[in-house]
Amino acid sequence: MALRTPLMVVNLKTYPQGHGEAGFALCREMAAVAEASGACLAAATSALDLRRFAHKGGVPVLAQHIDVAPAGAHTGAVLPEAAVAAGAVGTLVNHAERQLDWATIETTLARAREAGLATVLCTADVEATARGAALRPDYVAVEPPELIGGDISVSTARPEVISDSVAAVAGTGVPVLCGAGVKTRADVEKAMELGAAGILLASGVVKAKDPGAVLTELVRGLS
């Protein structure tokens, strides 16, 4: 199950609704919406849930983070090769809640590439998006950190971050996802109008009372 644009990645983070049985049920709902709409919906899962969600969840699964450690004596490290063996098709890199320095970002992208994982490099602003896209991840996902988890979306509060990011990476061909505070179909539509190739979001879906209904609405804004 490969990733394709327009793409919506739901980051399950460490929300209770995104782990174990609840997270699995959410993946199944995502799969049903993807099937009904034709949209590409992917889940970024915890390392502990990755194998089950990837094999039985019905949607492409990304790791939320991988480490650059090689195989060997590195207790607790999440190896890219182990993520692939568990069924991951990709990984987030440098999420705002799991930031890396630029040298580590470069090494992580290289390790992911070698292992066969698609990469979604998260960035906080236009400058970082341009610098990150030059490293040729498969996607960049720009998210103003102050809007993450809030109720006002990047499309409304900082639309220029999306349009300027799209313009800044235009020469690279790297698709730009955006996120932070995305909750409604209108938020998604606006982001797509501004040139985004998709959305990276979390709370609007994971914490929703009826995630299936929310997703059904959100994916309508994708095209």
Q: Which residues are tagged catalytic?
A: 95, 143
Residues 119 and 200: their CA atoms lie apart, in Å, by 13
- Tokens representing 179 are 């996120």
Does 23 sit near ligand G3P (CB under 6 A)?
no
Residue (of 44, 53, 52) closest to 13 by Cα position: 44
Find the binding residues for ligand G3P in span 49-88 (CB under 6 A). none
Does 143 sit near ligand G3P (CB under 6 A)?
yes
The interface region with ligand G3P, picked from 99-107, 155-163, 176-184, 190-198 by CB under 6 A, is: 176-184
Q: Which residues lie below 8 Å from residue 91, measured CB to CB, with a gap of 6+?
A: 62, 63, 64, 65, 66, 80, 83, 112, 117, 118, 119, 120
Query: Shortest Cβ distance from residue 100 to ligand G3P (Å)?
Result: 15
If the CB atoms of residues 54 and 62 are measured against ligand G3P, the closer one turns out to be: 62
Q: Which residues lie below 8 Å from residue 37, measured CB to CB, with a gap of 6+?
A: 216, 219, 220
> Assign residue 38 a region: left if phi > 0, alpha if psi is -120 to 50, beta otherwise?
left
If the CB atoms of residues 5 and 69 are measured against ligand G3P, the closer one turns out to be: 5
The interface region with ligand G3P, picked from 74-82, 99-107, 127-135, 174-182 by CB under 6 A, is: 174-182
Does 128 sit near ligand G3P (CB under 6 A)?
no
Does 11 sit near ligand G3P (CB under 6 A)?
yes
Place of tokens 């996607």: 139
Query: Shortest Cβ distance from residue 70 to ligand G3P (Å)?
Result: 27
Place of tokens 């349009």: 163
Judged by the rule CB under 6 A, the positions of this chain that interact with ligand G3P are 11, 95-96, 143, 148-149, 179-182, 200-204
